[in-house]
Amino acid sequence: MQVFERTDCPFCWKVRLTAAELGVALDLIASRPGDPHPEVSRLSPTATVPVLTDGDLALWESAVICGYLDELGSGALYGSTPSARAAVRLLEAYSDRLAAEGLKDAVFELRSKAPEERDASRVEQGLALWGERLAELAARLADKPWFAGSFSVADCALGPRFGVAEAYGIGTFRRHGNLVAWFERLKARPAWQQAYPNQFIGLPRG
């Protein structure tokens, strides 16, 4: 199975983390920001990464890709009942659509511009929105070890959002003790190290 991806893209990171948790091997092929690999342009109508190919199958949405990997693997990362699976899918959608907002604006300014060229109000508004999302996430997590109760794709989706924030020095999540403890639990899993990006745009290679 091939995955066309960008190492620091949170959607691609989610796919790598899900695959690592499931023990599914992926052949990763790099695609560049704003200059997609020709196969990405050919196979994805949105020209976004990740794109997974498996024989004649070509999948271009990270949630669809993770669902496919889960069914190929243990089938355990979305939960075992219809209602549990729906709850994990909702948390994944929350991560992909809402947690991504705000944080991506702030990160874009921080990673691609010199301090004097940054749009300070875009950073401020982005971080304010990210702060609201964090409060919602802290309430959803409450005192559970993982977002859906047991470990799931919800954690694989949200972890990279926090990983990106941490990489760019955005430490607002530290205001919520339960989110800090959850993130530390996630980082202690072997799959986290396996899936961690080898480069973040604008940061020294770590």
The bridge status of strand 2-5 relative to strand 27-30 is parallel
Question: Which stretch in 46-54, 134-142, 166-174, 180-188 sits in contact with ligand GSH by CB under 6 A?
Answer: 46-54
Q: Does 9 bind ligand GSH (CB under 6 A)?
A: yes
102: phi then psi, degrees, rounded to nearest 5: 80, -65
Question: Which stretch in 31-39, 125-133, 141-149, 169-177 sits in contact with ligand GSH by CB under 6 A?
Answer: 31-39
Lay out the site mask for ligand GSH across 84-123 (x = CB under 6 A, - = otherwise): ------------x---------------------------
**Shortest distance, position 177 Cβ to ligand GSH, whole Å:** 29
Q: Does 62 bind ligand GSH (CB under 6 A)?
A: yes
Q: Are 3 and 15 in contact (CB under 8 A)?
A: yes
Q: Does 49 bind ligand GSH (CB under 6 A)?
A: yes
**Shortest distance, position 175 Cβ to ligand GSH, whole Å:** 26
**How far apart (Å, rounded) are the C-alpha atoms in residues 137 and 127?**
15
**How far apart (Å, rounded) are the C-alpha atoms in residues 59 and 4?**
10
**How far apart (Å, rounded) are the C-alpha atoms in residues 47 and 154?**
24
Question: Which stretch in 42-50, 120-128, 135-143, 163-171 sits in contact with ligand GSH by CB under 6 A?
Answer: 42-50
**Shortest distance, position 181 Cβ to ligand GSH, whole Å:** 27
**Shortest distance, position 35 Cβ to ligand GSH, whole Å:** 7
> For residues 188-201, b (16+ Cβ closer than 10 Å) or e, as one string?
ebebbeebbbeebb
Question: Which stretch in 55-63, 82-90, 123-131, 169-177 sits in contact with ligand GSH by CB under 6 A?
Answer: 55-63
**How far apart (Å, rounded) are the C-alpha atoms in residues 67 and 55?**
17
Q: Are 130 and 172 in contact (CB under 8 A)?
A: yes
Query: How are the residues of the chain apportioned to helix, strand and coil, as percentages rounded to the nearest 5?
Result: 60, 10, 30
Binding site for ligand GSH (CB under 6 A): 6, 9, 11, 33-34, 36, 48-50, 61-63, 96
